[in-house]
Structure formats: structure tokens, C-alpha cells
Amino acid sequence: MWQQLLQEIQEGNIKSLARTISLVENEYEGFEQFLQTLPHSSNKIIGITGPPGAGKSTLADALIESIVEAGKSVAVLCIDPSSPFNLGALLGDRIRMSEWYNHPNVFIRSLATRGSLGGLHPKIIEITDVLKSARFDYIIIETVGVGQSEIEIAGLADTTIVVVVPEAGDEVQTMKAGLMEIADIFVVNKADRPDADTFVKNLNLMLAPSFQQANEVAIIKTIASKREGIQELINAITKHQQHIQAYDKKYWLLAEKAYYLIQQKRMTGVDKKILKQELEKNKEANLYKFISKYL
């Protein structure tokens, strides 16, 4: 079954791709052996992150439109926050992207974080590798943009786009060094708002020299709702991906992926629902004594 699914994915069968993602997501029997048979892929991952309200979904929608108009294909994973009670997605399918769901050159999948502390889906690495086996020209991952997900996306994406808005001046001043370091491209969205040019200038000053990297970090101004600056962004993405080299940061990121997968494997068998039931039975239990049996 698994090998047939892989063959169909490589042939461009979207239904088989969607089914395989669901099987991997739910750890169907044989999924680990299937993942070990995935061929090496040179497909590059584009990660889009940034604070809530920056316009990430609108930007992703504009990128899809531009990619489709160029006759290319694209897969998009949207990571939605999940309810802490039932672990289902709170946002569901993105309304802004709804027009693309039946387009033959577009594949969109919404995934809940399922309580993952970092803000990404617990099977995001595996699902991304399944996508890389398909014949997409672009693969985009859009995060919820909260907590640690901004940093985690860097361990997954070949090109990390951090989306901010001009009003985020104070936020950028206090922005964590880690977030500044993971950005390959900064997008200043809603650039028709006041002080956008001043914001870009200040961002440039912050990037040099303290956060100097091997490759220059591009800063692109966009108005995603009006589709302005999108082609410049695609050009910047293409340029960055053409110059990705086997540098030290890349292997640290691969090590981060390996660490995450090993950690996930070690946590197999620990179920939140069962933990909840046991805690309900032992209402006055010492939490540290309680978790000791799992360590």
C-alpha cells in the first residue's frame, strides 16, 4: 500500500498525497518504514512566519496567485493554533485562500498544532518530507506566528521569511536576537502605511553589523492585499535558494530536526488524555512525583 501511494504521489496524484499525509499524521501502521523509503529531494521549503496580524495569510495568497500565473505548482501547509481541549484547529481552512482549493496546480492543507508547545505540528517534518516527494515547484509553510514557532520554522525551511508591519517598530527594537538571525528575507507588509520607509531604514541598521550573516538579508516592501511587491519577493526567494550552500548553520538546523525526531520517538506512548484521566484520579498528587514514572 505504502509503495503504491509513493508512486502515485510522484505521479502527481493529489488524492493519494492527501491520504498519505493523513496516514502519517495519525501514525498508521507502517508509516515509519514508509518514511525511510522516501527518496532524497532537492525541493526547497519556504517558511513564512511573523507576529499575528502581519498579513502572513494574505501574503501567502498573493504568492500562490503569482506562482500559478507563472504556470508553476505550489503546496501550502498552514499551521493553525489548536484547542487545548480537543486539539482541533481553531482557524480551520483559510478563508483568504479558499479560491485555490480546487485549482489543479495548488495543494493546501491546514494542520492543527495539536498542543505542540513550539507552535508547529508534531508531524510537520514528516509531512514536509512527504510533500517534497511530490512534483511541486514551491512548498510554503505558514506558521501561527506565536511562541517558539518563529525559531522552529528555521529548522525546517530552506528560506525563512519573517513578515512584519511598519507599526512593529517597538517590537523590532526588542526583537529576540534569534528571530533576527533566522530571517533570510524580511517582508515589511502593509508598506503603504505611514513611516514604512523609516521602519525599513531602522531594520537595515539593526541587521548590520550586529547580525551580519554570510548572505545578505533582503528586505522587501509589500502591500499583499494589492499584490504589490510580490514579484520582488519571489525574485528574492529564487536568488536566496540559488545560493544556499552547505554551511555550518544548515547542519545545525539538520541536527535540530534529528533531535526533534528522536525526542518525539522517546515520547511515544505518553498520551495527554491518559495523563488528564490519571491526574483526575489523583487530584492531590505531587506533579513531580507523578511525572517521575515517565522519566
User: Taking a C-beta distance cutoff of 8 angstroms, is the pair 38, 133 a contact?
Assistant: yes
In angstroms and rounded to an integer, the radius of gyration of the C-alpha atoms of the chain is 20
Q: Which grid coordinates belong to 24?
A: 502519517
pLDDT-derived band at 22, boundaries 50, 70, 90 = very high
User: For the residues 262-287, what does the mean pLDDT come to?
Assistant: 82
Sign of CA dihedral 245, 246, 251, 254: positive
Residue with cell 498508521: 28
Phi/psi for 137 (5° steps) reads -75, -30
CA-based end-to-end distance of the chain: 36
Per cent of the chain over pLDDT 90 is 34
Residue 146 CB neighbour total at 10 angstroms: 14
Mean pLDDT, rounded, of the chain: 80
pTM to 2 decimal places: 0.80
Please tell me the distance from the alpha carbon of residue 213 to that of residue 221, in angstroms, as a whole number: 21
| Number of Cβ within a 10 Å radius of residue 66 | 16
Task: State what percent of residues in the chain have pLDDT above 70.
Answer: 77
For cell 511562541, the residue is: 147
The answer, yes or no, to whether residue 147 has pLDDT greater than 90, is: no
Return the closest-CA partner of residue 138 out of 154, 156, 159: 159
* Greatest mean pLDDT range, 8-17, 105-114, 143-152: 8-17
Calculate the CA 22 to chain-centre distance. Answer: 18
CA atoms of 283 and 277, how far apart (whole Å) = 10
Burial tier of 293 (Cβ tally within 10 Å: 0-12, 13-18, 19+)? exposed
Q: How far is CA 249 from CA 181, 182, 243, 253, in A?
A: 10, 10, 14, 6
The string of pLDDT tens digits covering residues 189-212 is 999 988 899 888 888 887 765 555
Q: Which three cell numbers stand for residue 281?
A: 484520579
CATH number for the domain running over 41-244? 3.40.50.300
Burial (CB count <10 Å: 0-12, 13-18, 19+), residue 69: exposed
Cβ atoms of 238 and 232 within 8 Å: the answer is: no
The string of pLDDT tens digits covering residues 56-99 is 989 999 999 999 999 999 999 988 765 444 444 444 445 556 67
119, 123, 125, 127: CA torsion to nearest 10: -120
Asked if residue 284 has pLDDT above 80, the reply is: no
- 153 phi/psi in degrees, rounded to 5: -65, -30
